[in-house]
Amino acid sequence: MNRGTAWAQKALKYGAIGRVTLRNHLAYIADFLTRSVFLIVIMYIFVQLWQATYEGEGTETIAGYSMGQLIWYILLAESLTIAFPSLTTRVEEEVKSGEVGYRLTKPYSYIGYHYAAYAGEVAVRLAVNLAVGLAIGCLAFGWPSLGFGWIGFLWMAAGGITVNFLLNMLLALCAFWVEETRGLEFVYHKLLFTIGGMLMPLELFPGALQDVCRWLPFQTVLYFPAKAAVRWDSVELAWMTCVQWFWIAALAGAVLLVYRLAVRKLNVNGG
């Protein structure tokens, strides 16, 4: 069997895992819709906040964003954020219950399995969140004139989901040593909300903080997809893609290294 055939078979295997996860979660659409009520509450608060801000500034744009663009930016970033399931909780439970030993004996990569399952679940959650978000946005501002921005959003979101998975997997693998990893996840979420650009675009940050944020991977998860959607005409899509893939490569290497150390520790301890 040549290398190309082997890679094709692996892709089909993990694709099947993703499809199974997708079908399983499609059965819980009503549950996801209920969770999306949180999105409605959050967006109502943000609309009121930014309306007061724009009126107070007496200007149509802030840092290059109109009121409509800013609200759509926040809505898309929030939709992505709510779509992310808790990976650390799953890995932590597998380690505590001993199920991780069963997973490691399967004829597929432990990391690859979790990525395929994670991507499938995010796809369902994001589709539901976008449907609810579009309904909210259209009622408030009318249909968004994003044009090719939707393509930019989906392209950047795919990379952002991968970066988010890798960052979360790094934290989740710490369960092999400390078991309780939800505190680490909590800190990561706060970083994503702030310097990751969920609450507002990085252009609204002080200059020095912007410079720091651009050297970190958090911007690639939410800021890149949301900005690509609402400011398609001015984004540098090729540069943003290169930055995303740099972090994907770097974080994938880090995840594989930590995973090997974790498996070695599990074997030494007789797990």
Is 212 part of any domain?
yes
Q: Check residue 2 and give its pLDDT.
A: 56
Instruction: Tell me the sheet residues that pair with 58.
Output: none
- Fill in the amino acid letter for 24: N
Beta-carbon count within 10 A of 27 CB: 9
Residue 72 has pLDDT above 70, yes or no: yes
- Does residue 263 sit within a domain? yes
Residue 11 located in a structural domain: no
Does 1 score more than 60 pLDDT? no
- How far apart CA 241 and CA 150 sit, in angstroms, is 15
In a domain, 241, yes or no: yes
Give me the DSSP letters along 160-173: HHHHHHHHHHHHHT
Where is pLDDT greater, at 41 or 80? 80
The answer to whether residues 170 and 254 touch, using CB atoms and an 8 Å cutoff, is: yes
- Angle CA 192–166–107, to nearest 5: 155
Phi first, then psi: give them for residue 173, nearest 5 degrees: -70, -15
Encoded tokens for 48: 């009121």
Q: Are 105 and 81 in contact (CB under 8 A)?
A: no
Residue 85: phi, psi to the nearest 5?
A: -80, 170
- Given a contact cutoff of 8 angstroms between Cβ atoms, the answer to whether 159 and 60 are in contact is no
Per the structure block, which two tokens stand in for 18? 């993703």
Beta-bridged to residue 61, according to DSSP, are 66
User: What is the spatial distance between Cα 64 and Cα 60, in angstroms, rounded to a whole number?
Assistant: 9
Question: What pLDDT is stored for residue 245 in this prediction?
Answer: 96
Residue 25 lies in a domain: yes
Domain around 214: 16-268
Instruction: Give mean pLDDT, residues 134-163.
Output: 86
Tens-digit pLDDT profile for residues 217-268: 999 999 999 999 999 888 889 999 999 999 999 999 999 999 988 888 765 4
Q: Helices 223-230 and 67-83: crossing angle, nearest 10°?
A: 140
Percent of the chain at pLDDT above 70? 84
Average pLDDT, the chain: 83
Using DSSP, state whether 143 is helix, strand or coil: coil
pLDDT tens for residues 183-206?
A: 889 999 999 999 999 989 999 998
Q: Which segments of the chain are extended strands (E)?
A: 61-62, 65-66
As for how many domains the chain has, the answer is: 1
pLDDT band at 137 (very low <50, low <70, confident <90, very high): confident
Query: Ramachandran region of residue 180, left (φ > 0), alpha (ψ -120 to 50) or beta?
Result: beta
Residue 3 lies in a domain: no
Q: What is the helix (H) or strand (E) element at residue 1, kind and residue range?
A: none
Higher pLDDT, 110 or 155: 155
Instruction: Give the angle 161-245-232 at the CA atoms, nearest 5°.
Output: 75
5 is a domain residue? no
For residue 97, what pLDDT band results from cuts at 50, 70 and 90?
confident
Does 8 fall in a domain? no
